[in-house]
Amino acid sequence: MAPGQRGSLDPAAAGRDRSPRGTAMIYRPRFSLRHAALTLAAFTCGIGSVAVAAEKSELRIATVAPAGSSFHKRLQTLGNEWSRGPGGVSMNIYAGTQGGELQIVRRMRVGQIQGAMLTSVGLAQIDRSVTALQYMPMMFRDWDDVDAVREKLRPDLERRLSDAGYVVMVWADAGWVRYFSNKPILRFQDLKSLRVYASSGDPESVELMKSYYTPVVLEPEQILLGLRNGMIDALPVPAFLANFSQVPTYAP
């Protein structure tokens, strides 16, 4: 893909009407506080670090997604394609082993890794402007709305990230957010009594959540433990992302 190109991380999205429909797209925008929080993802590379890595024909890429997930497999496919290209650049992928996205961004800054697949939580550590899509709850009706706004913002977002020393390789969607809970959620009001996962490094979103339920800040690798020990009752996440984890086992 060319730098800045948009794609989908959901294999099932290919050739499909992208308007929200069916159970995979439930929690309409007016019921979703962070419906765009995980739909915005990017593969970013530090410019200076990449130049050094290219000389060594090696790139170290990190993602919070676990090994064997669709995200990991997509990166492996990309790595295979790059290895066959001019220069034979090899890609070492660290899937779910480098901590949360805050830690991954820190590792990029010091040159331990050269690239990452990030959600808006990680990208916001580089430039807060990427949260423009995230902090507009109840604003988007469907994917056409999201795409229209993102395409208007994309040139400026990519320029700001470039000014910080990063190049966006691809923007991708992960799907609409739905709530996975170990307690029944029949109405939006049912969320008020629940302790719901919130991502660390996202204080504005946490403050917004407080108006609707009790947010509990955890790192992604703590989610399953939190569900098992009762620290959290639910989490908002696209079904596609939950599918490659054990989340449905503890919060169907």
* Structural domains in the chain (count): 2
The stretches in the chain having pLDDT less than 50 are: 1-2, 5, 7-54, 56
> Does residue 154 sit in the same domain as residue 36?
yes
Amino acid occupying residue 49:
S
Look up the pTM and report it: 0.68
* Full domain range(s) for residue 81: 5-10+19-173
Secondary structure element (H or E) that encloses residue 41, with its range: strand 41-46
The enclosing domain of 197 has a CATH number of 3.40.190.10
What are the angstrom distances between the C-alpha of 241 and each of 176, 178, 215?
Answer: 10, 11, 20
Q: Is 25 helix (H, G, I), strand (E, B) or coil?
A: helix
Q: Can you give the pLDDT at residue 29?
A: 26
> Does residue 54 sit in the same domain as residue 167?
yes
95-149 per-position pLDDT tens digit? 888 888 888 889 988 888 888 888 877 888 888 888 777 666 667 788 888 888 8
> Does residue 98 sit in the same domain as residue 29?
yes
d(CA 86, CA 61): 19
> Does residue 222 sit in the same domain as residue 164?
no
Which residues of 52-176 form beta strands (DSSP E)? 58-63, 90-95, 115-119, 166-173
Q: Can you give the pLDDT at residue 136?
A: 67
Last-in-domain residue among 157, 173, 189? 173
> Does residue 225 sit in the same domain as residue 144?
no
d(CA 53, CA 161): 20
Q: Can you give the pLDDT at residue 22?
A: 21
What single DSSP character describes residue 66? P
d(CA 120, CA 62): 15
Query: Which residue from 117, 126, 121, 119 is spatially nearest to 95, judged by alpha carbons?
Result: 117
Q: Can you give the pLDDT at residue 37?
A: 32
> Does residue 166 sit in the same domain as residue 194?
no
Amino acid occupying residue 35:
H
> Does residue 230 sit in the same domain as residue 122?
no
> Does residue 165 sit in the same domain as residue 186?
no
d(CA 95, CA 75): 10
d(CA 248, CA 242): 7
d(CA 76, CA 108): 19
Q: Can you give the pLDDT at residue 160?
A: 92
Burial class (CB in 10 A: 0-12, 13-18, 19+), 223: buried
Q: Can you give the pLDDT at residue 233?
A: 92
> Does residue 168 sit in the same domain as residue 240?
no
d(CA 34, CA 70): 22
Query: Which residue from 6, 7, 36 is spatially nearest to 130, judged by alpha carbons?
Result: 36
The enclosing domain of 128 has a CATH number of 3.40.190.170
> Does residue 153 sit in the same domain as residue 199?
no
Q: Can you give the pLDDT at residue 199?
A: 80
> Does residue 116 sit in the same domain as residue 209?
no
What is the per-residue burial (b if ≥16 Cβ within 10 Å, else e) of 109-123?
Answer: eeeebbbbbbbbbbb
